[in-house]
Structure 1
Amino acid sequence: MDLGLTSTTVLWAAVLAAGALFAVTVWRWPRLAGRGPLPVLGRVGLLAAVQLSLFAVVALAANRTFLFYGSWADLLGREQGPGVVVDHSAGRGAGSVRVLGREDAPGAPGGRIEKVAVSGGESGIASPALVYLPPEYVRAGHRGRDFPAAVVLTGYPGTAENLITGLDYPRTAYRLVQEGRMKPMVLVMMRPTVAPPRDTECVDVPGGPRTETFFGRDLPRAVSSAYRIGSAARSWGIIGNSTGGYCALKIAMHHPERYAAGAGLSAHYRAPEDVTTGDLFGGDQRLRNRADLLWSLDHHVPGRAPRSSFLVTTSREGESERAATLDFIARVRPPARVSSITLDSGGHNFTTWRREVPPALEWLGGRLSAG
């Protein structure tokens, strides 16, 4: 029985508990009609219990819809899965992928989810990931076939599990393949938070985590060595929402030798500096400028303009980054290409991103190839 924070069982248990408390309140109320302290305390207790139970139902339903928290551990502030090791003295190496567990992919019959730990030889970072292997990858008749891959990133401080339970990436990828709208693709699902609880915004922090190096170079190199995925840029894409969308665009922009395409769903375009990030740049304005995607589009090194394909999403109503998104589109120049998805309305939430994931995955798949 699934008793997770987002499970139907827990939500219905809360509904039944609220209904039961309401019934008890109606039944016991006449007996608590007196003026003494005990009847008053009884009435207050029952009203408080009903109110709390109703609040729990509303909170669970809202969280199930928008996935503010993916698990009880996430809600309570406890980390889950294998720990993250940041070894700044690590030498350069190929990196590695260690499989920690396997299970069937929900909504993708014949597909598989592998829980792995990815170690970066150059960055010294190790981070957990969930790898979706499509049914075609698993089938014996395709053992000699290579596949394209996409890194899929959550926002901050999300969990990789949200990409499965909240945004349905494996289910959507499977459906698009069955409908002939996309070729089979491996999905490497991760959170961009590789040094929790710090939000590093996919920056190589001076004296700190080399997050951009991990996603930009280590990750595709290590995963290509462990799975049947091409190592050329045309075999790799990256997509994400919110902070993950910013990371996806930045990594594709600054590492076209590794990624052919990047898609940002409700992305922002410069790294924030606040209590969650700490000092990302060590006072180095050059690094701060490089983390500003709009600045980077205008100040690339001559002859080294971004040559990746970009997809950005926005909405006419409800999206705070709409002006920056339009600015990004206007600044992209060949050899780079840019596409967009514009909804009539949609906020910064899972409901909006669920509407954008299918066309974004189809777009991404159309720009990648296995060889």
Structure 2
Amino acid sequence: MGLTSNKVLVLATMFAAVLFVGTVWLWPRLARQNWRTVSGRVALMLATQLALFASVGLAANQAFGFYGSWADLFGKETDQGIVVDHSAHGSSGGPLQVVSSSEVKGVSGKRPETGGQIQKVDIVGRTSHIATPAYVYLPPEYFQPQYRTRTFPVAVVLTGYPGTAEALVKKLNYPNTAQQLAKDGRMQPMIMVMMRPTLAPPRDTECVDIPGGPQTESFFAKDLPEAVGGHYRVGRRPGSWGIVGDSTGGYCALKLAMHHPRVYAAAAGLSPYYKAPIDPTTGDLFRGDRNLQNRADLRWMLTHLPAPDTSLLVTSSKVGEHNYKDTLKFIEQVQATNVTRISSIILDSGGHNFNTWRREIPATLQWMSGRLTDH
């Protein structure tokens, strides 16, 4: 049974409940003061606490989508990483392959023309040689005859770290929200490419072209638009692509738009930070390259480099988010450029979690829609 299986959560919860009841029932029998009874009490307490901790951890993972599998949890995931395409023209089917398709849950209409469609795809970057899975949401209009010659704007949607792309569909409800907003006339129909920013798991690459390592920035700046553009009817001119993410994905979204404004005309960071961290999950991202490290600091960029011609949205909360003061400083710096455009969503309260981001996603998608063209 998988880590995210409901059966695993139910079994863990039942086991914890049985241990708790057993501890209460057996405690009087273990009241004597000898090594056996003391050892028994210690064992029951430890087992009960471990079972409760496991149940809470599984429930939290179900709610927030931190890890997608046991291998992911224990850092043993090896089936998604760096691959090299040795053929002259890439794979015969192109850099994007559709693995499966499914309907959008929770919307009216089972056919793609009325309910849209979610496709699970595998993408191989021709430049970066990175292979990664993703989910692509296609709005109902994509399948309707009257739109057969129309191209659609694209929003790349990124998770945090470690995150799972599936959580963007099932937990943060991006496809459902986008479809309802378009139905209400509050945003234009858009294609969404939903994925993790972690392209070489379990390493947190922070969307950096790591010297001698994964070229994750190049993947998002060049390979992903090329692969998606070669398979779907998407806008190819500057102004057709945007990018949004939460936490680590939010930092990546802002950085990619600031580094590549002719690729991403708009970027939204939900609870982002503004400088790439260096910690055990990232390893040495820059290999002593001071210029690369500085460019990964968005506030340094605004001070020392020409301002990019792009639109940015940042979100935070006055209570519950650690990035609140940094976000205000970032907004002030962007405003001073008179070139980069900045908007914000500041909640009175809200933690660094899915519930907060679900409150911000509808307004974020509306904002994004107003800044992208469909050609």
Residues 343 and 31 of structure 1: CA distance in aligned 2, closer, same or farther (over 3 Å) = same
Q: Distance in 1 between matches of 2:24 and 2:203?
A: 49
Q: Distance in 1 between matches of 2:320 and 2:87?
A: 45
What is the Cα deviation at residue 263 of structure 1?
Answer: 0.5
Residue equivalent to 2:200: 195
Residues 340 and 154 of structure 1: CA distance in aligned 2, closer, same or farther (over 3 Å) = same
Residue equivalent to 2:171: 166
Alignment of 1:245 onto 2:250:
yes
Residue equivalent to 1:84: 81
- Count, aligned residues: 365
Q: Secondary structure at the match of 1:157?
A: coil
Residues 195 and 17 of structure 1: CA distance in aligned 2, closer, same or farther (over 3 Å) = closer
Equivalent pair of 1:92/1:121 in contact (CA under 8 Å)? no
Residues 25 and 97 of structure 1: CA distance in aligned 2, closer, same or farther (over 3 Å) = same
Q: Distance in 1 between matches of 2:139 and 2:9?
A: 31
Q: Distance in 2 between matches of 1:282 and 1:22?
A: 51
Q: Secondary structure at the match of 1:245?
A: helix
Q: Distance in 2 between matches of 1:210 and 1:91?
A: 20
Q: One-letter code of the match for 1:320?
A: H
Residue equivalent to 2:212: 207
Residues 30 and 334 of structure 1: CA distance in aligned 2, closer, same or farther (over 3 Å) = closer
Residues 298 and 10 of structure 1: CA distance in aligned 2, closer, same or farther (over 3 Å) = same
Residues 90 and 155 of structure 1: CA distance in aligned 2, closer, same or farther (over 3 Å) = farther
Q: Secondary structure at the match of 2:150?
A: coil
Residue equivalent to 2:344: 340
Residue equivalent to 1:319: 321
Q: One-letter code of the match for 1:145?
A: R
More displaced, 54-63 or 112-121? Answer: 54-63
Equivalent pair of 1:112/1:138 in contact (CA under 8 Å)? no
What is the Cα deviation at residue 308 of structure 1?
Answer: 0.8
Q: Secondary structure at the match of 1:250?
A: helix
Residues 44 and 140 of structure 1: CA distance in aligned 2, closer, same or farther (over 3 Å) = farther
Q: Distance in 1 between matches of 2:131 and 2:318?
A: 39
Residues 114 and 44 of structure 1: CA distance in aligned 2, closer, same or farther (over 3 Å) = same
Q: Secondary structure at the match of 2:213?
A: coil
Q: Which runs of 5+ in 2 are unaligned?
A: 109-114
Q: Distance in 2 between matches of 1:71 and 1:355?
A: 27
Q: Identity over aligned residues, as a percent? A: 58
Residue equivalent to 1:363: 367
Equivalent pair of 1:97/1:222 in contact (CA under 8 Å)? yes
Alignment of 1:15 onto 2:37:
no
Residue equivalent to 1:119: 124
Residues 96 and 306 of structure 1: CA distance in aligned 2, closer, same or farther (over 3 Å) = same
Superposed CA offset, 1:100-148 (max 9, x none):
2222233345232222122222223222211112222234554333211
Residues 56 and 83 of structure 1: CA distance in aligned 2, closer, same or farther (over 3 Å) = closer
Residues 124 and 140 of structure 1: CA distance in aligned 2, closer, same or farther (over 3 Å) = same
- Superposition map of 1:286-305 within 5 A: 286-301=291-306, 305=307
Equivalent pair of 2:102/2:118 in contact (CA under 8 Å)? yes
Q: Distance in 1 between matches of 2:76 and 2:227?
A: 28
Q: One-letter code of the match for 2:312?
A: F
Normalised to the residue count of structure 1, the TM-score between the two structures is 0.86
What is the Cα deviation at residue 188 of structure 1?
Answer: 0.6
Q: Distance in 2 between matches of 1:183 and 1:5?
A: 37
What is the Cα deviation at residue 342 of structure 1?
Answer: 0.6
Q: Distance in 2 between matches of 1:254 and 1:180?
A: 32
Residue equivalent to 1:256: 261
What is the Cα deviation at residue 85 of structure 1?
Answer: 2.7
Residue equivalent to 1:98: 97
Q: Secondary structure at the match of 2:368?
A: helix
Q: Secondary structure at the match of 1:343?
A: strand
What is the Cα deviation at residue 50 of structure 1?
Answer: 3.8
Instruction: Say what the alpha-carbon RMSD is for the aligned residues.
Output: 2.9
Residues 28 and 344 of structure 1: CA distance in aligned 2, closer, same or farther (over 3 Å) = same
Alignment of 1:54 onto 2:52:
yes
More displaced, 329-338 or 49-58? Answer: 49-58
Q: Distance in 1 between matches of 2:90 and 2:257?
A: 22
Q: One-letter code of the match for 1:216?
A: A
Equivalent pair of 2:286/2:292 in contact (CA under 8 Å)? yes
Q: Which runs of 5+ in 1 are unaligned?
A: none
Q: Distance in 1 between matches of 2:10 and 2:318?
A: 36
What is the Cα deviation at residue 325 of structure 1?
Answer: 1.2
Normalised to the residue count of structure 2, the TM-score between the two structures is 0.85
